[in-house]
Structure 1
Amino acid sequence: MTQVTEPPSVAPSAPAPAKAIRGTWRHRGRRRQAFWGYAFIAPNFLGIAAFLLLPIVISLGLSFTSWDMVSDPEFVGLDNYQRMAGDAQLWVSLRNTAALALMSIPLGIAASLGLALALNRKLRGINIFRAAFFLPVIASMVAVAMVWRWVYNSEFGLLNQFLESIGIPGQNWLTDPDLVLPSLVLVMVWKSMGYNMVLFLAGLRAIPRHLYEAAELDGANAWQQFRNVTLPLLTPTMFFVTVMSIIGSFQVFDVVYIMTGGGPGDASRVYYYWLWQNAFEFFRMGYASAMAWLLFVILFVATLIQMRFIGRRVQYEMG
């Protein structure tokens, strides 16, 4: 009698733990989120690469060439950079730009801070005044410059008419070499004051109220509170505004182009305007690219110096 053996029973496989399944689905969900996140920001990356990074690389290459935008670029090595050392107009433009910055930055910061302190109050209708002072920021610089050209007009301008009404002779604001830069500074400060005012308002709102209450209990007057509480805690905003103001002052172009054209003579020819003239009036694109990189180096070094000597004095909280 033959013995029939039954096949060995196969044990059923154990089900995957629920935690592992959830981990797999969670991983797949994160990958899908990352994919769609990159897909949505890809157009911005492409725009930055096409309109920012690529022109930067091209301008660096052009700075070593001689190119008039018609013929093929000709490699000249460091000739453009050597040429800048002997360019008298370049040094005049740098001097005018530095003078413009030295006048506009302290005046602009003081005016913006004073305006922010005046408007940092809980009064009915205060937002209307804040909006009114911010309006020049969103106005076109072309429109602003045209209006100020009319104000500064030596024959029928509002400013000369006002001065003559109080017995002061009118001035040639835009044609006098001694007055043209201060006149441009006034326009620049008026245009940017509202933006810096908003930054200072945000900084003032971030200062804890209890610090002022403690200072009042100690007998500090308004000036002492401003010097010992407000100013130290506004140093981060002050530092940011100073850095951005220096960068902006070295990039001034439109107000000079519209109001003075660099004149009278070379009195208002700033660096950026001289760069534009080399590129689009004289068609020295290679030389203009070299000037652009010199400007980058100047601003980079100026920013590093500020971060090294001023940034470490920034106080983010009361000690």
Structure 2
Amino acid sequence: MRRLTTKATPWLFLLVPLAFLLTFTYAPVANLVWYSLTKWDGFSPEMPFVGPDNYAELFTRPDLFQVFFVSLFYLASGAVQMVLALYFATVLSFNVRFRAFFKGVLFFPYLINGVAIGFVFLYFFQPGGTLDSVLRLFGVHGQHLWLGDPDLVNWSLAGVSLWRYLGLNFVLFLGAIQSIPGEIYEAAELDGASRWRQVRHLIVPGIRPVIGLSAILVVSGSLSVFEIPYIMTAGANGSTTFVIQTVKLAFQFNKVGLASAAAIVLLAIVLLVSWVQRRLVPDEGADLV
């Protein structure tokens, strides 16, 4: 009896988390799959079953899938973001002046509400606004349509995303770097290793799992970006992302079934990317268990 109680105790502790997981994660996903197989408008009590027709429409209409090209801007921004975050995390992991101040400056944008950031940068990108005023100091005159020009809007929005989420990757990298034992750095310095060699041969290999995690966040975030472009442009001038389009399909055109199929496709892509990343950069800690 005591042995049975010992085995059952961990499951009793897991009961509530598993209940929340089933209620708020797996049950909604199951409903989403069902909706994707129907032609539901979101209001009618009737849900005509159409099978895979929504997925067929999704993959045969280029206009529904071409919005993925917008994600390339955010993917490029995310790559730059990772490089900058790793650079600043490496520099601030050593003893430099005002280190705590710079850590706060880098992480602070991530703490700001996304809606507030969107409205602030609306003024920043106004023709003749803050950005144009700064550029005039460097001899670049004129008023630019940063959010109105299809050639500039996605770069502008991706730049805002870079500024906002740089702090998250910075904190992840900084924590991973500081978890490397200090004795390793001391031994490297005694052997005459330069800062660059320490970064290349100690820091980067030592935080490779965290770099892999950051890569997953960057790729999934670039595919599912919504908040900033929706607030600043509402998808106008060629800035519509896949998620913005899905929201419009569901709530503007009342095509909940098609929108659900789009959401399932996005979920499948994110899971596939995560699986590929795990295969390319396996968790070294898992081999030790």
Give yes or no for TM over 0.5: yes
After TM superposition, the structure 1 = structure 2 runs for residues 149-298 of structure 1, keeping only pairs within 5 Å, are 149-155=122-128, 157-169=129-141, 170-264=143-237, 267-298=238-269
TM-score normalised over the length of structure 2: 0.89
Question: 2:116 aligned with 1:143, yes or no?
Answer: yes
CA distance in 1, matches of 2:58, 2:255: 13
Question: 2:25 aligned with 1:52, yes or no?
Answer: yes
Structure 1 outlier segments of 4+, above 6 Å: none
Q: How many residues align?
A: 283
Aligned to 2:13: 37
| AA partner of residue 158 (structure 1) | T
Q: Larger Rg: 1 or 2?
A: 1
Deviation at 1:285, TM superposition (A): 0.2
- RMSD over aligned Cα atoms: 2.3
Call closer, same or farther: CA 1:92–1:208 in 2, change over 3 Å. Answer: same
Aligned to 1:117: 90
CA distance in 1, matches of 2:163, 2:65: 28
Aligned residue for 1:189, secondary structure, equals helix
Q: Structure 2: where are the runs of 5+ without partners?
A: none
| AA partner of residue 292 (structure 1) | A
| AA partner of residue 13 (structure 2) | G
Aligned to 1:94: 68
Deviation at 1:100, TM superposition (A): 2.4
- The answer (yes or no) to whether the contact 2:36–2:259 under 8 Å persists in 1 is yes
- The answer (yes or no) to whether the contact 2:75–2:222 under 8 Å persists in 1 is no
CA distance in 2, matches of 1:146, 1:173: 14
Comparing 270-279 with 157-166, which one deviates more in the overlay? 157-166
| AA partner of residue 136 (structure 2) | E
Aligned to 1:77: 51
- The answer (yes or no) to whether the contact 1:233–1:315 under 8 Å persists in 2 is no
Call closer, same or farther: CA 1:122–1:286 in 2, change over 3 Å. Answer: same
Comparing 29-38 with 280-289, which one deviates more in the overlay? 29-38
Aligned to 1:5: none
- The answer (yes or no) to whether the contact 2:107–2:168 under 8 Å persists in 1 is yes
Q: Structure 1: where are the runs of 5+ without partners?
A: 1-23
Q: When you count helix as a share of all residues, which structure comes out higher?
A: 2
